[in-house]
Amino acid sequence: MNIAPSAAKPSFSWQFVVTLLMYGFMYIPILILAFYSFNAERFSANWGGFSLRWYVSLLNDSRIQSALLDSLRVAFTAVAVSAVLGTMMAVGLAKYRFPGKGLYRGISYLPLIIPDIAIAVATLVFLVSIGLSLNIWTIIAAHIVFCLAYIAVVVSTRLTGLNPHLEEAALDLGATPLQAFMKVLLPELMPAIFSGCLLAFVLSMDDLLIASFTAGDGANTLPMEIFSRVKTGVKPDINALSVILILVSGFLAFLSEYIRFRSERRRFRQ
Amino acid sequence: MPPTNLRNSRLLHRASLGSATSRRHFLQFSAAALSGVALSNCARNLSNAGSSPASSPTNSTANKTLHIYTWANYTDDELLRGFQDRTGIQVVVDTFDSNETMLTKMQGGGGKAYSIIYPSDYMVEKMIADEMVAPLDQSRLQGTDRWLPQWQDPVYDPGNAHSMPVVWGTTGLIFDPGRVSDPIKGWDYIWQNVDQLSRRITLINDVREVMGATLKYLGYSLNSTKPAEIEAAYNELLKLKPAIASFITNGWEDQLASGDLTVSMAYSQDAIYLIEESPNLQYIVPETGSSLWTDTMVIPKTAPNVDAAYEWLNYMLDPENSAKMVERLKIATPNEAAFEKLPTNLQQDQNLFPSKAILAKSEGIAPVPQAITDLYERYWTQLTSS
């Protein structure tokens, strides 16, 4: 589709300014953080020269590393489980009619609006009353609750924009329901599932309250470790850690986009 | 800077709601209050009904592990390894970020695995009142007779009957000696130099700390309950108003290091940490005395492994271990025997261990009657909002 270009664009449009402001608003704090992670000084007020000392101190800090591992373990497991369940839930809600459907939909999205602290305390009380002992799996279970809701919401919005006849056409052409789902519906939903997963992953990595209340048996997520350290002082090695995390997640996002791009090109060629 | 203004939830109970407590604090606080009343009862009933066997889990393995619930930085690998070498008991450490989180989790029944918890002074008092902690069997502890005088009979737990003090600190002033005209010894410097200090000092965002420091400066008790004294303290603080840049507990560090601030009121732990990075700064405990805060160890009533808990307490009471812990983690111990084992440079470190003369003038912040609390709060609101 080609929109006729509007007559000679001004070189400095207001759209450009707004875009620049928005990007600045989003990314300048991150750039500053990255910049100061190389500061030899403890305080951002003074620039003490380039140094990798905070990266070295991060490497020597086994507690931070184990906390990071716990966080990643929780986030990956919770997101993986929620991706499957959330997609199934969204598809099921879109496809089928059953009594109490509205109520089901409403309840399943509740974790989006209930404050974290309420989920945290309720989950704790529930876990205790059924006699489960707390460990890393209870954090994962609690995180699945809200990850599920986020992924389901994102997938649902994508589903409403899809052409419902595509799947029916596949069925008409002799695909089994499973094949139709896997080969027609799922590829169409993939971008939504993926962005839902990213959103849920970030929220899971970020969560302090729910993890605090459901952790046990030595499981200690990154936010718990950092906030507990605030009492005795947080060092800029946290900045270094953030930079590493941003780079790694940026790389992962790039990689997945690249794979998607390649597969899409292949699809167009066929 | 990493997140600021959060550390101080330890003292949240004293902060007025009118002051700038963050949203998260408020949530934690209300959660503690709400769930404490409503949910814990229901949880307790449910769990008591269903899980009496769960409280005595597989004995053979349980005796080999001790779960403790503490602040990050109060333990390290060396400490845990030493304990395992000595007793064969493996320690699993979980951390909390505020007393309120810890309390809520315990009340919700999520702390059944823990045999040792590290609450702060005011929280010990609350937990004793709520009958959450077991009295300590003094006959099973060795070396409890060597506390520094301030911890022999603390206000929060008379006779240390339920708790064992483990870390303490003071509140004082931190500044760059190169930037002040004469050496600062105490609060009088601030009042005498209000004109030069225009918007160049910060005070801790806590009513009892600030009012208490002023009461001390005037020669009254930190825990004064006399309205006339409290009013006098308020009037003194009013004179200081032009010099106060803000009331913040954390977050002054950058500005102080760069010289935008001249003096900040700070907790010793923050100050010690800061001075390690900026050795040009200096921390003093005002000569008129300061407030003392204490973090303690208690055994909850639900402790699954009481024997290991006593082993741990004895291990921490051991002067050798305490002394090494002070050296590594830079935290002050109330154990006099451990203090004597410290290298001289740490013993003379006035930031960690203020002189006995100053200590003798210092007090812990004790609860006051509700009417007096309201009075404190009213003056505090007038002070911080005017």
pLDDT at B40: 45
Residue range B261-294, pLDDT digits in tens? 899 999 888 888 888 878 888 999 998 888 898 9
- B101 chain-A contacts, CB cut-off 8 A: 212-213
A237 and chain B in contact, CB less than 8 A: no
pLDDT at B23: 42
What average pLDDT does the segment B13-31 reach?
43
Choose, out of B95, B100, B174, B272, the residue to mutate when testing the contact with A (most A CBs < 10 Å): B95
Whether residue A230 and residue B273 make contact (CB cut-off 8 A), yes or no, is no
Confidence of residue B6 (pLDDT cuts 50, 70, 90): very low
| A14, A127, A219, B51 from A139: Cα distances, Å | 47, 11, 9, 21
The answer on pLDDT for B22 being more than 60 is: no
pLDDT at B258: 81
pLDDT at B380: 92
What average pLDDT does the segment A133-145 reach?
92
Tell me, what DSSP letter sits at residue B133?
Answer: B
What average pLDDT does the segment A120-147 reach?
91
A218 and chain B in contact, CB less than 8 A: yes
What average pLDDT does the segment B201-215 reach?
90
Choose, out of A128, A207, A222, A239, the residue to mutate when testing the contact with B (most B CBs < 10 Å): A128
What average pLDDT does the segment B148-164 reach?
90
The answer on pLDDT for A2 being more than 70 is: no
The chain B residue lying nearest A37, using CA atoms, is: B1
The yes-or-no answer to whether B7-168+294-353 and B170-291+364-385 have a common fold is: yes
pLDDT at A62: 85
Between residues A19 and B178, the one the model is more confident about? A19
What average pLDDT does the segment B234-242 reach?
91
Confidence of residue A4 (pLDDT cuts 50, 70, 90): low
This complex has an ipTM of 0.73
Whether residue B108 and residue A125 make contact (CB cut-off 8 A), yes or no, is yes
**Which residues make Cβ contacts (< 8 Å) with residue B20, sequence separation at least 6?**
B205, B247
The chain A residue lying nearest B103, using CA atoms, is: A213
Cα of A252 to nearest chain B Cα, Å: 25
Choose, out of A232, A235, A238, A239, the residue to mutate when testing the contact with B (most B CBs < 10 Å): A232
Whether residue B274 and residue A233 make contact (CB cut-off 8 A), yes or no, is yes
Residue range B301-328, pLDDT digits in tens? 999 999 999 999 999 999 988 899 888 8
Whether residue B94 and residue A216 make contact (CB cut-off 8 A), yes or no, is yes
**Which residues make Cβ contacts (< 8 Å) with residue B181, sequence separation at least 6?**
B193, B196
Between residues B251 and A10, the one the model is more confident about? B251
d(CA A230, CA A81) in angstroms, rounded, equals: 32
Between residues A34 and A143, the one the model is more confident about? A143
Nearest CB to B113; choose among A129, A217, A231: A217
What average pLDDT does the segment B85-105 reach?
90
DSSP string, A167-210: HHHHHHTT--HHHHIIIIIHHHHHHHHHHHHHHHHHHHHH--HH
The answer on pLDDT for A137 being more than 80 is: yes
A32 and chain B in contact, CB less than 8 A: no
pLDDT at B356: 85
d(CA B183, CA B320) in angstroms, rounded, equals: 36
pLDDT at B52: 37
Nearest CB to A212; choose among B7, B101, B269: B101
Whether residue B2 and residue A239 make contact (CB cut-off 8 A), yes or no, is yes
The answer on pLDDT for B206 being more than 70 is: yes
Residue B327: CB atoms within 10 A of its CB come to: 14
Q: Which helix (H) or strand (E) covers residue B295, if one does? A: strand B291-298
pLDDT at B274: 83
Whether residue A234 and residue B3 make contact (CB cut-off 8 A), yes or no, is yes
* Mean pLDDT rounded to a whole number for chain B: 82
Return the sign of the alpha-carbon dihedral for residues B213, B214, B216, B217.
Answer: positive
Nearest CB to B104; choose among A121, A227, A231: A121
Cα of B19 to nearest chain A Cα, Å: 20
pLDDT at B27: 46
d(CA B48, CA B37) in angstroms, rounded, equals: 17
**Which residues make Cβ contacts (< 8 Å) with residue B121, sequence separation at least 6?**
B154, B156, B157, B293, B294, B295, B296, B364, B365
pLDDT at B62: 52
Whether residue A128 and residue B6 make contact (CB cut-off 8 A), yes or no, is no
Confidence of residue B140 (pLDDT cuts 50, 70, 90): very high
What average pLDDT does the segment B212-228 reach?
91
The answer on pLDDT for B78 being more than 70 is: yes
- B331 chain-A contacts, CB cut-off 8 A: 232
Residue B159: CB atoms within 10 A of its CB come to: 10
d(CA A162, CA A187) in angstroms, rounded, equals: 12
**CATH number of the A71-233 domain:** 1.10.3720.10
Nearest residue to B132 via CA among B156, B93, B103: B103
What average pLDDT does the segment B17-40 reach?
45
Q: How far is CA A166 from the centre of its chain?
A: 29
What average pLDDT does the segment B362-370 reach?
85
Cα of B335 to nearest chain A Cα, Å: 20
Domain ranges of chain B: 7-168+294-353, 170-291+364-385
Contact in structure between B150 and B362 (CB atoms under 8 Å): yes
Answer yes or no: CATH 3.40.228.10 is held by domain B170-291+364-385: no
pLDDT at A60: 85
What average pLDDT does the segment B216-237 reach?
92
Q: What whole-number percentage of chain A has pLDDT above 70? A: 92
Tell me, what DSSP letter sits at residue B267?
Answer: E
The answer on pLDDT for B336 being more than 50 is: yes
Confidence of residue B135 (pLDDT cuts 50, 70, 90): very high
What average pLDDT does the segment B343-347 reach?
88
The answer on pLDDT for A52 being more than 60 is: yes
Whether residue B50 and residue A42 make contact (CB cut-off 8 A), yes or no, is no
A45 and chain B in contact, CB less than 8 A: yes
pLDDT at B53: 38
Contact in structure between B366 and B223 (CB atoms under 8 Å): yes
What average pLDDT does the segment B106-134 reach?
90
The answer on pLDDT for A123 being more than 60 is: yes
Q: How far is CA B319 from the centre of its chain?
A: 22
Confidence of residue B197 (pLDDT cuts 50, 70, 90): confident
Confidence of residue A9 (pLDDT cuts 50, 70, 90): low
Nearest CB to B110; choose among A43, A124, A232: A124
Confidence of residue A10 (pLDDT cuts 50, 70, 90): low
Confidence of residue A11 (pLDDT cuts 50, 70, 90): low
d(CA B289, CA B269) in angstroms, rounded, equals: 17
CATH superfamily, region B7-168+294-353: Periplasmic binding protein-like II (3.40.190.10)
Q: Which helix (H) or strand (E) covers residue A36, if one does? A: helix A14-36
Buried b (16+ CB within 10 A) or exposed e, B216-254: bbeebebbbeeeebbebbbebbeebeebbbbbbbbbbbb
pLDDT at A232: 65
The chain A residue lying nearest B28, using CA atoms, is: A117
Confidence of residue B4 (pLDDT cuts 50, 70, 90): very low
Whether residue B7 and residue A228 make contact (CB cut-off 8 A), yes or no, is no
Whether residue B269 and residue A208 make contact (CB cut-off 8 A), yes or no, is no
**Which residues make Cβ contacts (< 8 Å) with residue B155, sequence separation at least 6?**
B364, B366
DSSP string, A145-160: HHHHHHHHHHHHHHHH
- B46 chain-A contacts, CB cut-off 8 A: 125, 128-129
Residue A257: CB atoms within 10 A of its CB come to: 11
A214 and chain B in contact, CB less than 8 A: yes
Nearest residue to B135 via CA among B322, B337, B310: B310
- B278 chain-A contacts, CB cut-off 8 A: 42-43
Residues 66-95 of chain A with CB under 8 A from chain B are none
* Mean pLDDT rounded to a whole number for chain A: 86
Residue range A194-233, pLDDT digits in tens? 889 988 998 999 899 999 999 988 888 998 988 887 766 6
